[in-house]
Structure 1
């Protein structure tokens, strides 16, 4: 089998002194993890792409585990660009997030850009304890400036206390099922994103559904969670909408 294989792992635990330790910080190949300065009791890590990709045939995986009482924020240094490669197989990028009861994770990577000729499957799975907290942002841009997109299939699954609160998949680009660019899905826009927020207090005080801007909506999920879905002409305007949603949810 061709392509590059790479795995990055993060483990965060409460350090017993009111902060968060990072006993596991492992990465290889094109994935590099960098610890940055902590803020209060929150540990911070940046994912740095050491090479181009993912390319055709590559398989990347990022795993983060947050223990009880730990707080972790993960971002990335730059956008991830899915590119065509010499190998014609699809590339895969898998993200696995596990947050224990009373743990908290902010997963805030930069956008994923689907370049012309690429074929990428992205899967993000988040498993949370019943008292865990999560802020997860996902942004996808279809094509670079003036460029048609590649094929991009994205699945997002969130489970809280063993119960699925969100399981959705979107396929875009050449070869995707018909209608992905129509009025019921992207309506001609080239940036799509979502924000998932899990808070124990949402179980008794769920957020109210509302429209944010022209092409975004905030809705409660069937559990202690809320979802913001948005489309925009470009990545910059998409980020503005999702930042507005964080303000609405009192997370900024």
Structure 2
């Protein structure tokens, strides 16, 4: 039995009146996009899981195209849970984000939970114009309460004005390269997250590398970007650390 294939696609454009229009808001299968009440010129879209998943063998794709001068805030209604399925093999969840010059995207979904027995590969690829703005949060929880995690591999790639600024991959759980749970990586923690912030002013005044409390650090990237990485015992504490970093980097 083949897994489920589903795609969600959104396009935001400047409406010429100081706001943002959403001419494309398409989704199918277990992915559903819903427009909600926004703030000022920034509309909000929620990604709603209409079914369980991703399960083994599934392939989900989400794309967002933010055109010149447009703004968009994207969240999710609940955590995404990677589960084992009847179909053997890896599930894939691909996110493709494009933000043109002068555009702004805030990508703030809820956590991704790797349930025991699951096998998921998550790929997030971002292409930004030179003057685009981005706030992106990733949070991954390894296993539900009292449960060993599944296999989870996550890759994050950022390009600004055609130049690769970040390309990193982390694999956790059964079958991952040795050391993923050791002191140099997760150190026994079961929640790991990243906050990626891109602002044109960072090119002139880069963010300083610093430690943010216990288990978190901020690192300037080449160009107008900064990356916060954090580990925590659970999702609640991880969110607290990333929220505090967000207030500092993108008030």
**Which TM-score applies when normalising by structure 1?**
0.99
Shift of 1:38: 2.1
Unaligned runs of 5+ in 1: none
Q: Structure 2: how far apart are the matches of 1:247 and 1:197?
A: 11
Deviation digits for residues 213-250 of structure 1 (CA, Å, limit 9, x no counterpart):
10000110011000000000000000000001012214
Which residue matches 2:54?
54
Q: Structure 1: how far apart are the matches of 2:72 and 2:27?
A: 17
Which residue matches 1:218?
218
Q: Structure 2: how far apart are the matches of 1:201 and 1:115?
A: 40
Which residue matches 2:80?
80
Which residue matches 1:14?
14
Conservation of the 8 A alpha-carbon contact between 2:197 and 2:250: no
User: Where do 1:1-252 residues align within 5 Å?
Assistant: 2-251=2-251
Q: Structure 2: how far apart are the matches of 1:249 and 1:61?
A: 29
**Which TM-score applies when normalising by structure 2?**
0.99
Q: Structure 1: how far apart are the matches of 2:148 and 2:118?
A: 10
Deviation digits for residues 77-107 of structure 1 (CA, Å, limit 9, x no counterpart):
0000000001111000000000000000000
**RMSD over aligned Cα, in angstroms?**
0.7
Moved over 3 A (4+): none
Q: Structure 2: how far apart are the matches of 1:48 and 1:32?
A: 5
Q: What SS is found at the alignment partner of 2:244? A: helix
Q: Structure 1: how far apart are the matches of 2:250 and 2:69?
A: 21
Conservation of the 8 A alpha-carbon contact between 2:109 and 2:137: yes
Q: What SS is found at the alignment partner of 1:51? A: coil
Q: What SS is found at the alignment partner of 1:246? A: helix
Shift of 1:209: 1.1
Q: Structure 1: how far apart are the matches of 2:228 and 2:132?
A: 19
Deviation digits for residues 170-197 of structure 1 (CA, Å, limit 9, x no counterpart):
0000000000000000000000000000
